[in-house]
Chain A
Amino acid sequence: MTQTAVTPPSERAVRAATPGGARAPRRSGRRRIALPYLLLLPALLLELLVHLVPMLMGITMSFKELTQFSIRNWSEAPWSALDNYTVAIDFDAPVGQALLKSFFTTCLFTVVSVGLCWFLGTAAAISLQENFRGRGFLRTLFLVPYALPVYAAVITWAFMFQRDNGLVNHVLHDQLGIGDSPAFWLIGDNSFWALLVVSVWKGWPFAFLTVMAGLQNIPRDMYEAAALDGAGVWKQIRHITLPSLRSVNQVLVLVLFLWTFNDFNTPFVLFGKAAPEAADLISLHIYQSSFQTWNFGTGSAMSVLLLLFLLVVTGVYLLLTTRGRKTSDV
């Protein structure tokens, strides 16, 4: 039953894939070639439905004049050419100004957060490379922040950053005597640091996990050879461990960058629907400005600009890091 239902599109795919059919002198012919496409079909359909088609719609919407009334019939909404984009990047007007500020905040935040996550993860993985008492316990413990659901972890941090009944002010103000009065952490300029702490706490275990996996691929005899040559631990880390991790780090930093730059959950749970200006990360900014003003056209234009930026950064990054490497192991 299902077989016959699935066959026609796959046959079409095969014909498209092998023009003229002459190029496929394979042993059992069509069935063999159709099989990989059949296997991919579910993944392809799902990606189309949930990612690709919505993305194309989002791009189309960025060229439309959308309001809360025209959104239901979005395809018939009036065409607005580049109006949404000019609004988004008019940096003299409030909308563009806020977007630009949020963009710079996000850039700074991402660089610092990714850097700290990478450093903590790498240092922890190297620290736990040799066997000692308590190693297994620490290894498990360090993965707890990664395993905790985002909302549970971030809500706990939100509690710790409360001005009057939080742990942070209790320690800083009451116990260490810093500042004249307890500071606000979830509003005002301090919110940037609060968000950073939470982001690093939640994010570094992924770096730890990845680097730990990477360390397992370094042959032990490289260290033994280095030790015979008289290289101490610090030298071994500098000349064997870190260089061997290069390809792991290339993937790791890119993934951390994309996750942190697009992060919505952390600020959303920490601050609620609107983040303070100092911690106004771009995803939440776009969400908030779309849903509060119901101007989905401009919101879509902002999202498209964000996507273009990420594409360019990723492209340049991949070019720079894979240059000179012949392997195509992505």
Chain B
Amino acid sequence: MAVPRSFLWTRRIFLTLLTAFVVLPVYVMVSSSLKPLEDVSGKFAWIPSGLTIRPYFDIWETVPLADYFVNSIVVAGAATVFSVAVAIFAAYAVSRYTFRGKRVFTVTVLSTQMFPGILFLLPLFLIYVNIGNATGFALFGSREGLILTYLTFSLPFSIWMLTGYFDSIPRELDEAAKVDGCGPISALFRVIVPAASPGIIAVAVYAFMTAWGEVLFASVMTNDTTRTLAVGLQGYATQNDVYWNQVMAASLVVSVPVVVGFLLLQRYLVAGLTAGAVK
């Protein structure tokens, strides 16, 4: 197909500018993380005057970054596993069964996406404190409380996306499994889940990223021992000085696992969106 020059040039210029916009902060993050403190405290320089990897060692000393890392991994990992499991069951019910209240359920769950987090921050805090007082099981300030909170954040979108994905799997497959003697649950695990694995991966990626990046609840509902990276990263700003080189190094270190994981799995996310959100 003959593509006119006007389109090619517009595209070239647009993509160049967009690439610059996207890359700029990444460049600042990487280059500043390799600068000595005098350098990042002075005027910005495109090319570092002296390279050092010291910030990458210092970040673990200035704040207990390793502890925050472990907290974030445990919280985001557990929230992802539970969220995906719960979403699979719910999406299977919505996709394969007609039952009373189905529409109410989907609309209610989806509309929770609309709630301003600030509306239920304080009530949730009070509920967790009350449950803790009544049962002795500390939800407030604990990893469990944060896991419980986060796993519901990605749930509405996950259920919605998986329902669309399950809908795209032919019902003949379930029927065949039933003829072979599978019950509904074993049909789900032997037929639907394997066939929908790209969608499930997409949902898991989404759930993990949601939990790894959340700031508001992490800053209210954690204490010294359960603090996650979202809150911990603010520790590099002291009263007198901000260790910008360490901030950038730490930002890079906490970003690498999730960015690499996301980029490796992104084609599943596009596939999942195609089947689920976009119909």
Q: CB-defined interface of B237-279 with A at 8 Å, one 1/0 digit per residue? A: 0000000100110011011001100110010011101100111
Q: A43-B90, A304-B119 are in contact. Are A156 and B29 (CB under 8 A)?
A: yes
Report B-chain residues with C-beta under 8 Å of the C-beta of A265: 213-216
- Chain A residue at minimum C-beta to C-beta distance from B244: A159
Q: A42-B86, A54-B123, A57-B126 are in contact. Are A165 and B93 (CB under 8 A)?
A: no
Report A-chain residues with C-beta under 8 Å of the C-beta of B127: 49, 53-54, 57
CA gap between A18 and B215 in the complex, in Å: 44
Q: CB-defined interface of B95-136 with A at 8 Å, one 1/0 digit per residue? A: 001011110010011101111111111111011000000000
Report A-chain residues with C-beta under 8 Å of the C-beta of B99: 17, 33, 36-37
**Known contacts A151-B251, A167-B24; 17 further A-B pairs (Cβ under 8 A):** A36-B93, A37-B93, A42-B90, A43-B155, A47-B152, A50-B149, A51-B115, A141-B22, A145-B25, A146-B262, A209-B269, A210-B273, A210-B278, A251-B278, A264-B117, A265-B213, A306-B119
Q: Check if B259 sits within 8 Å of A233, measured CB to CB.
A: no
- Chain B residue at minimum C-beta to C-beta distance from A286: B118
Q: CB-defined interface of B72-102 with A at 8 Å, one 1/0 digit per residue? A: 0000000000000111011011100101111
CA gap between A207 and B271 in the complex, in Å: 15
Q: Check if B213 sits within 8 Å of A151, measured CB to CB.
A: yes
Which one of A152, A201, A248 contacts B251 once the chains associate, using CB atoms below 8 Å?
A152
For residue B4, CB closer than 8 A to chain A, the reply is yes
Which one of A124, A150, A248, A314 contacts B278 once the chains associate, using CB atoms below 8 Å?
A248
For residue A88, CB closer than 8 A to chain B, the reply is no
For residue B233, CB closer than 8 A to chain A, the reply is yes
Q: Within the complex, what minimum Cβ distance (angstroms) separates A242 from chain B?
A: 15
Number of interface residues of B (CB under 8 A): 95
Q: Check if B270 sits within 8 Å of A42, measured CB to CB.
A: no
Q: Check if B123 sits within 8 Å of A61, measured CB to CB.
A: yes
- Chain B residue at minimum C-beta to C-beta distance from A148: B255
Which one of B108, B123, B266 contacts A57 once the chains associate, using CB atoms below 8 Å?
B123
Q: Check if B44 sits within 8 Å of A166, measured CB to CB.
A: yes
Q: Check if A46 sits within 8 Å of B216, measured CB to CB.
A: no
Q: A54-B127, A156-B28, A251-B278 are in contact. Are A303 and B112 (CB under 8 A)?
A: no
Q: In chain A, residues 272-309, which have Cβ atoms closer than 8 Å to a Cβ of chain B? A: 282-283, 286-287, 290, 296, 299-300, 303-304, 306-307
Q: CB-defined interface of A98-123 with B at 8 Å, one 1/0 digit per residue? A: 00000000000000000000001001
For residue A3, CB closer than 8 A to chain B, the reply is no
CA gap between A258 and B112 in the complex, in Å: 11
Report B-chain residues with C-beta under 8 Å of the C-beta of A157: 25
Report A-chain residues with C-beta under 8 Å of the C-beta of B123: 53-55, 57-58, 61
Report A-chain residues with C-beta under 8 Å of the C-beta of B115: 51, 55, 262, 307
For residue A52, CB closer than 8 A to chain B, the reply is yes
For residue A271, CB closer than 8 A to chain B, the reply is no
Q: Within the complex, what minimum Cβ distance (angstroms) separates B164 from chain A?
A: 9
Which one of B15, B109, B212 contacts A127 once the chains associate, using CB atoms below 8 Å?
B15
Q: Jot down 9 A-B pairs with beta carbons below 8 A, ordered by A.
A: A39-B89, A43-B159, A148-B255, A149-B212, A234-B6, A287-B216, A300-B119, A306-B116, A314-B114
Report B-chain residues with C-beta under 8 Å of the C-beta of A61: 122-123
Q: A141-B22, A213-B274, A262-B117 are in contact. Are A39 and B90 (CB under 8 A)?
A: yes
CA gap between A144 and B259 in the complex, in Å: 7
Report B-chain residues with C-beta under 8 Å of the C-beta of A247: 278-279
Report A-chain residues with C-beta under 8 Å of the C-beta of B126: 57, 71, 74
For residue A184, CB closer than 8 A to chain B, the reply is no
CA gap between A228 and B217 in the complex, in Å: 56
CA gap between A247 and B24 in the complex, in Å: 33
Q: Check if A149 sits within 8 Å of B229, measured CB to CB.
A: yes
Report B-chain residues with C-beta under 8 Å of the C-beta of A42: 85-86, 89-90
For residue A35, CB closer than 8 A to chain B, the reply is yes
- Interface stretch, picked from B35-43, B47-55, B58-66, B193-201, is B35-43
